[in-house]
A = this chain, B = another copy of it.
Amino acid sequence: MSNPNTSLSTNAVILAVDGDVPKLRTVDKQGRLALPSGVLEETDRTIQESIRRWVMSQTGLELGYVEQLYTFGDADRVDAQTDSRLLSIAYIALVHVEDALDESWASIYDLFPWEDARSSEALMSRLQIAQQLLRGGGQQQLRAKIAFGEAGTQGDGVRALERYELMYEAGLLAEAGGSKSYGQPMYLDHRRIAATALSRIRGKITYRPVVFELLPERFTLRELQTVVEALSGERLHTQNFRRLVESGGLVAGTGEMVTPPKGGRPAELFSFRSEVLFERPKPGLK
């Protein structure tokens, strides 16, 4: 390393969807919520391989889809113990978990309550924040307009990171030492990393069929829609969603039917049609 006062680690944002709740795997770090982290070993042929290795050994999780997220290296990322600048290469990973998830998983929307536009309470929270930022005036106001929309509630899902950064700069987050504090804070800038992951995955599902990594082999269209809604934080028009999925050739019916949990007409079980990758340039949802 050119600079001896810098240390390198890797972090993973491991995502899963538990019913209609998107969650990420956390660990405890000095009493705070943190992302799992590991170290690149000489035996790791690639960084991605390294992530898979240490995630497996630390959590026992076999990762499905894995992609590099971002490398964080701001000067204020310092380890309290060693006092060295922490460089972190963060990855995003998707896992499918059959059983209900335990407490080592945190709900994404506990971290970012304002990002859940599915419920009206969450929307209220967003509106409150937006109005505060829109009052700010100047550059902040302009950026808030982009991030939250003129009305304060129509902000694009993919702008989750921009919203987080605006709130951080405005002192609305515990990490920034502000008085008012929205959402569950995390160790160092780990919540920012999580926000980066949320933005990334929201964008990705629109042009790549990655949602299926979060679903079982066979699923109903309602289950698929619920997962997409959970990640995007938005409600979708069921009929149009179905049209999109079917006309997009993303799924194939299996002929088998299951009855929905709360009763109602039985739904067909579908499976992902991987052939769609050869047929369409950007196969995604929404």
Q: Which residues of A contact B (CB under 8 A)?
A: 1-9, 39-42, 44-47, 68, 70-71, 73-75, 85, 87, 89, 142, 145-146, 150, 156, 277-278, 281-282
Contacts and interface: CB of A to CB of B under 8 A. Distances in A.
Nearest to A50: B73
Contacts of A142: 278
Give the secondary structure class of A's interface: loop
A136 to B, nearest CB: 15
Contacts of A74: 45-47
Contact of A89 (B4, B46, B73): B73
Minimum-distance CB pairs A-B, first 6 = A1-B1, A71-B71, A156-B281, A47-B73, A2-B39, A45-B75
Given A71-B68, A75-B45, A3 B146 contact: no
Interface centre among A9, A44, A68, A75 (most CB of B within 10 A): A75
Given A3-B42, A74-B46, A87 B8 contact: yes
A213 to B, nearest CB: 18
A75 B46 contact: yes
Contacts of A73: 40, 46-47, 89
Contact of A44 (B5, B47, B68, B75): B75
6 contacts: A1-B4, A2-B9, A42-B85, A47-B73, A146-B277, A146-B278
A279 B2 CA distance: 45
A4 B40 CA distance: 11
A8 B5 contact: no
Contact of A7 (B1, B40, B45, B47): B1
Contacts of A44: 75
Contact of A3 (B4, B40, B68): B40
